[in-house]
Amino acid sequence: MVVVVLLLGFGTLACAGNERTASVLPERTMEFTNPLQTINVAVGETFSIVLESNATTGYTWQKQEQPRDSFVIFMGGTYMAPRTNLAGAGGRQRLVFKAGAPGTEKLAFHYLRPWEKDTEPARSVVFTVVVR
């Protein structure tokens, strides 16, 4: 009986601890994958553009130069490997941005091999971002 009471007590403390830490976890970043969908964000919000990619081929999504007075700030990017052990399987590339100031901006990306300087991109996409 004492063991049961102790286990219940520890379980309650563990749950209470999880509730306290749950409120300090960062909010999930909005993800966008469809260039036909306008991205609507507020100043200060972080969002990511996620595109299908396959690092094993040498191709990566490259962000085109943004104007100096850009409304969105590029925060960085990561490659997310596929959830399979199959050789050559594609993954996804996440590009993270922060809305800096109100306005509308077009973000263009080209899927290419960075070392092939005089070659057309295999694919290109343009996302429209509206910061309010």
Bridge partners (DSSP) listed for residue 123: 111
Domains and CATH numbers, the chain: 28-131 (2.60.40.2020)
In order along its 132 residues, the chain shows pLDDT tens digits of 443 333 334 344 344 444 343 334 345 678 999 999 999 999 999 999 999 998 888 899 999 887 777 889 999 988 887 777 777 778 899 999 999 999 999 999 999 999 998 999 999 999 999 999
pLDDT at 99: 95
CA distance 80 to 89: 11
Question: How would you write 10-69 as a 3-class SS string?
Answer: HHHHHHHHHHHHHCCCCCCCEEECCCCCCEEECCCCEEEEEEEECHHHCCEEEECCCCCC
* Three-point CA angle 95, 52, 75, nearest 5°: 5
